[in-house]
Amino acid sequence: MIKLQVRAQPSGFWTLASPLLALLITVLLGVVLFSLLGKDPVRALQMFFWEPIKSPYALGELVVKATPLLLIALGLAVCFRSNVWNIGAEGQYIIGAVCASGVALLGDKDTGSWIVMAVVLAGVLGGMVWAGITALLRDRFHANEILVSLMMVYVAVQVLGFLVYGPWKDPQGYNFPQTKNFDAVTRIPRLMDGSRMTIGVLFALLGVGTVWVFLFRTRAGFAQQVGGLAPAAARYAGFSARQALWTALLVSGGMAGLAGALEVAGPIGQLTPYVPAGYGFAAIIVAYVGRLHPVGLVFSSLLMSMFYIGGELAQSRLGLPKSLTGVFQGLLLFSLLACDTLVNYRLVRQAQAATGGSR
């Protein structure tokens, strides 16, 4: 019989290497999958791992998609490290986008460029409020935050739908469910010409630094994580569980809302029912693949972004279904969980160990 036994001190090397091993396993499984589908695996893998990085423009696109993933995953890392299971980042992202759009729609040609700050701020606040509802229900009524935050996603989708099919619908939009294009002055400034990257990238990188400092260099961040690792120890130390809950949800909600604002007022430029692209859910995988570590998240968000772009390319060029992206995400998370289990536990073959006793 094979048994799992806890390792007293997991290897530092394998803790870092396990995502790479998981990626390798994912690629191998991908090769098998493509072969079974009758496609050239080399060509298919090229779509995922070469096309997205082969030119400066492609790299820019990679970063455009990675930015919201990174922002959301940073917030989720804080959340998950505190043992608060916010599964509803997608909803907070949507409401962030909605609130940002609300402000952006107020702007016209004569508005000053200060409105960009207001747009971003509205997004952050929107996400915080949406996550705050979950925090409130958890705090006051002990409602399970996994269920509440997840269900709030569907409420957010309905809110978005109501607005774009109703009051915010562009009168000149041929009855399409979308708002008018935001005025240029309200759009998030581009980082450089010839690329769709916006200053959102800077927000994300700033976020990486801030979250790293918070988690690893401040006592508040330490307290936050103790609540997740050992609740009784947090109680013993006097770290407030309520404060940890609120911090976790407000931070992750704010980050998701920020991502929504940067996205809707950045590359998209108007509010449509297609704003929710699943970033909020994909960011959960990004968070875990990146070891809930801010620096790791940079890499995992780029990787996930590759999957998104590769999936689209595989659809347009190879005629493979776009849901391949989801398959890849799932495979990656699955193999990562398997690798992580082996980092923290060792396999003990009990039957063999015991028969040796006769010697």
Partner 1 sequence: MTFPRLELTGITKAYPGVVANSEVSLTVLPGQTHAVLGENGAGKSTLMKIIYGAIKPDAGQMRFNGQPVHIRNPKEARALGISMVFQHFNLFDTITVAENVWLGLDKSLSLDQVSERISSKARQYGLDIDPSRPVHTLGVGEMQRVEIIRALLTQPQLLILDEPTSVLTPQAVEKLFVVLQQLAAEGCSILYISHKLHEIRALCKACTVLRGGKVTGVCNPAEESNASLSRLMIGAEPPQLKHAVREPGAARLTVRNLRLTREDQFGVDLGGINLEVRAGEVLGIAGVSGNGQRELLYALSGEDRRAPQGSICMGEVDVSAQDPAARRALGLHFVPEERLGRGAVPTLSLAHNLLLTRTEAIAWRGFAGGWLQLAQLRAQAQRIIERFGVKANGPDAAARSLSGGNLQKFIVGREIDAKPALFIVSQPTWGVDVGASAQIRGAILALRDAGCAVLVVSEELDELFEICDRLQVIAHGKLSPSVAAGQATVAQMGEWMSGLWEAQA
- Judge residue 6's burial from the number of C-beta atoms within 10 Å of its C-beta, 0-12 exposed, 13-18 middle, 19 or more buried: exposed
Nearer Cβ to partner 1 (54/235): 235
Tokens found for residue 45 = 């893998």
Total of chain residues touching partner 1, rule CB under 8 A: 31
d(CA 246, CA 250): 6
- DSSP character string of 98-125: HHHHHHHHH--TTS-TTHHHHHHHHHHH
Query: In the bound complex, what is the minimum distance in angstroms from residue 342's beta carbon to partner 1?
Result: 17
Q: Residue 20: enclosing H or E segment and its boundaries?
A: helix 12-36
When asked if residue 175 is in the footprint of partner 1 (CB under 8 A), the reply is no
The dihedral formed by the CA atoms of 27, 31, 37 and 38, expressed in degrees to the nearest 10: 150
For 82-104, b where at least 16 C-beta lie within 10 A, e where not — what string?
bbbbbbbbbbbbbbbbbbbbbbb
When asked if residue 172 is in the footprint of partner 1 (CB under 8 A), the reply is no
Query: In the bound complex, what is the minimum distance in angstroms from residue 289's beta carbon to partner 1?
Result: 20
When asked if residue 232 is in the footprint of partner 1 (CB under 8 A), the reply is yes
When asked if residue 142 is in the footprint of partner 1 (CB under 8 A), the reply is no
Q: What is the DSSP letter of 264?
A: I
Phi, psi (deg, nearest 5) at residue 83: 65, 30
d(CA 87, CA 106): 32
Query: In the bound complex, what is the minimum distance in angstroms from residue 5's beta carbon to partner 1?
Result: 12
When asked if residue 294 is in the footprint of partner 1 (CB under 8 A), the reply is no
When asked if residue 240 is in the footprint of partner 1 (CB under 8 A), the reply is yes
Nearer Cβ to partner 1 (144/240): 240
Q: Give the residue, chosen from 212, 222, 334, 345, that forms a contact with partner 1 under the rule CB under 8 A.
A: 222
Query: In the bound complex, what is the minimum distance in angstroms from residue 242's beta carbon to partner 1?
Result: 11
Contacting residues for 236 by C-beta, under 8 A, at least 6 apart: none
Q: Give the residue, chosen from 38, 109, 192, 358, that forms a contact with partner 1 under the rule CB under 8 A.
A: 358
Contacting residues for 287 by C-beta, under 8 A, at least 6 apart: 73, 76, 77, 80, 297, 300
**200 within 8 A of 60, measured Cβ to Cβ:** no
Query: In the bound complex, what is the minimum distance in angstroms from residue 149's beta carbon to partner 1?
Result: 25
When asked if residue 114 is in the footprint of partner 1 (CB under 8 A), the reply is no
CA torsion through residues 118, 195, 301, 144, sign: positive
Tokens found for residue 353 = 């160990």
Q: Which range touches partner 1 (CB under 8 A), out of 1-9, 96-104, 119-127, 157-165? A: 1-9
When asked if residue 214 is in the footprint of partner 1 (CB under 8 A), the reply is yes
Q: Which range touches partner 1 (CB under 8 A), out of 126-134, 136-144, 214-222, 249-257? A: 214-222
Q: Which range touches partner 1 (CB under 8 A), out of 102-110, 186-194, 201-209, 225-233? A: 225-233
When asked if residue 8 is in the footprint of partner 1 (CB under 8 A), the reply is yes
When asked if residue 218 is in the footprint of partner 1 (CB under 8 A), the reply is yes
When asked if residue 242 is in the footprint of partner 1 (CB under 8 A), the reply is no
When asked if residue 350 is in the footprint of partner 1 (CB under 8 A), the reply is yes
Q: Which residues bind partner 1 (CB under 8 A)?
A: 6, 8-9, 214, 216-223, 226, 229-230, 232-233, 235-238, 240, 350-351, 353-359
